[in-house]
């Protein structure tokens, strides 16, 4: 069967999870959902309601009348369903950087007699920066290891307090073995902090099932919450009583409106709340999560795996000169496909000019992110055919100049 027929057959097979009608999609093919998810159609109206009525008319009364105060935990529970967390374990409100700082700092207090933090050296740079900064502040030292090497590392030492790892490698799309790494950390007496930024909303995580300790993730990639959407923090029930993050803000206080001069943590996951959250962004995220209503994350995963698998198949046949660096095993990849090529930057810019939006990561990777709810196999095939045309026309070489603009 040729690629055109394959695309049509696969779209028919997965038609039950085609949710394009729930999004406002730009012209062309959008393959950058791993950086910024597409706009759910319900969000503009929801944001207008918040601005016009909540803020414009009801003002401060909206904290109670429109549920602003409860939103961080209410929205957290909706995300919790997508990452396998029972209610009462997820809050939303800070940036991913702040959420990670808070989670790692709290994890260190749970293992006060240990002085090492393990992190993957290929982690997203912010994760490396946050961990390095905390180590400097607290007198800990950083040990680096790839997630597949962490179990052996932990078997050889007893000083590891915290293991910090990303579920999906942001460059290659490699999906790491969260259950195995988590079990190894627990055998060694360490606390796990997982960054789910590139898996939440695309890959089943099953935090409770695998007894993950702490996790964070952003709201603007596969959760489609919009630019700068607030991040979420997961604190497993068994750790909530001892969860003591470094920044102690008033929303995490046991009695926030008592306005006491000293801090007392709330008894439940509310202790992970920070200061006043960005309500416009938080409520936009809440509206965006509506696209997942009635949808099982396993169904999203099946569609994603089919799309990324077909993308790799089309690349192999139509653009064999690019190197697919994302694992071909569907169990070992997230929801984006990365290809290596010396002119990857020029390729990304030429594709954008042709209406296909992916992104570039130095030094030589073109990333093609699959937002499964709003992409089809026909879209994927069209994107690869445009890449073939870029290569045939020498367009990548012509545009591979100063890299000032990167999507």
Whether 367 is a known active-site residue: answer yes
Whether 195 is a known active-site residue: answer yes
Helix, strand, coil share of the chain (percent; to 5): 45, 15, 40
From its phi and psi, is residue 20 left (phi > 0), alpha (psi between -120 and 50) or beta?
alpha
Catalytic residue among 78, 174, 333, 367, which? 367
Catalytic residue among 23, 101, 170, 220, which? 220
Both tokens of 272, joined, read: 């992970």
Between the two ends of the chain, the Cα-to-Cα distance in Å is 35
Whether 221 is a known active-site residue: answer yes
Catalytic residue among 114, 221, 271, 301, which? 221
Catalytic residue among 23, 30, 101, 124, which? 124
Instruction: Report the side by side order of strands in the sheet with 359-361.
Output: 323-324, 336-340, 365-369, 359-361
CB 254 within 8 A of CB 264: yes
Whether 124 is a known active-site residue: answer yes
Burial of 80 (0-12, 13-18, 19+ CB in 10 A): buried
Both tokens of 40, joined, read: 């759910």
Q: Do β-strands 323-324 and 160-166 pair in parallel, antiparallel, or remain unpaired?
A: unpaired
- Nearest-5° angle of CA 50, CA 56, CA 59? 85
Catalytic residue among 195, 213, 379, 400, which? 195
The beta-strand segments (E) located in 268-324 are: 323-324
- The per-residue b/e assignment along 175-205, b for 16 or more CB within 10 angstroms, e otherwise, is bbbbeebbebbbebebbbbbbbbbbbbbbeb
If you compute the radius of gyration of the chain from its CA atoms, what whole number of angstroms results? 22
- Which residues are known to be catalytic? 124, 195, 220-221, 367
């Amino acid at each position: 069967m040729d690629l055109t027929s394959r695309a049509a057959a696969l779209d028919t097979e997965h038609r039950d999870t085609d949710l394009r009608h729930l999004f406002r999609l730009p012209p062309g093919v959008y393959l950058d959902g791993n950086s910024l998810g597409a706009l759910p159609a319900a969000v503009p109206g929801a944001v207008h309601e918040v601005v016009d009525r909540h803020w414009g008319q009801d003002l401060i009364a909206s904290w109670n009348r429109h549920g602003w105060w409860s939103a961080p935990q209410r929205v957290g529970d909706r995300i919790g369903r997508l990452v396998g967390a029972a209610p009462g374990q997820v809050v939303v409100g800070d940036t991913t950087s702040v959420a990670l700082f808070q989670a790692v700092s709290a994890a260190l207090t749970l293992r006060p007699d240990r002085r090492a933090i393990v992190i993957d050296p290929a982690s997203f740079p912010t994760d490396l920066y946050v961990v390095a900064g905390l180590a400097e502040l607290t007198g800990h030292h950083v040990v680096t290891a790839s997630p597949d090497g962490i179990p052996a590392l932990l078997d050889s030492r007893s000083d590891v307090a915290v293991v910090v790892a990303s579920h999906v490698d942001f460059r290659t799309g490699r999906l790491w073995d969260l259950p195995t790494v988590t079990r190894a950390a627990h055998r060694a007496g360490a606390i796990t902090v997982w960054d789910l930024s590139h898996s939440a909303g695309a890959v089943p995580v099953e935090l409770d099932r695998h007894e993950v300790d702490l996790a964070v993730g952003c709201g603007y990639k596969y959760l489609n919450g919009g630019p700068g959407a607030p991040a979420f923090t997961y604190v497993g029930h068994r750790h909530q009583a001892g969860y003591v993050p470094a920044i102690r803000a008033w929303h995490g206080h046991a009695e926030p409106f008592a306005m006491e001069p000293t801090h007392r943590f709330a008894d439940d996951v509310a202790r992970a709340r920070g200061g006043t959250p960005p309500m416009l962004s938080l409520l936009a995220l809440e509206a965006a999560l509506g696209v997942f209503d009635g949808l099982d994350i396993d169904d999203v995963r099946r569609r994603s795996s089919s799309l990324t698998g077909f993308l790799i198949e089309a690349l192999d046949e139509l653009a064999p000169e690019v190197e697919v660096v994302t694992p071909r095993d569907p169990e070992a990849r997230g929801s984006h496909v990365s290809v290596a090529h010396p002119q990857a930057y020029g390729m990304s810019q030429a594709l954008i000019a042709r209406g296909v939006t992916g992104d570039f990561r130095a030094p030589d990777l073109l990333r093609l992110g699959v937002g499964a709810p709003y992409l089809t196999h026909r879209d994927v095939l069209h994107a690869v055919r445009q890449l073939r045309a870029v290569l045939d026309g020498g367009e990548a070489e012509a545009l591979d100049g100063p890299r000032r603009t990167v999507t």
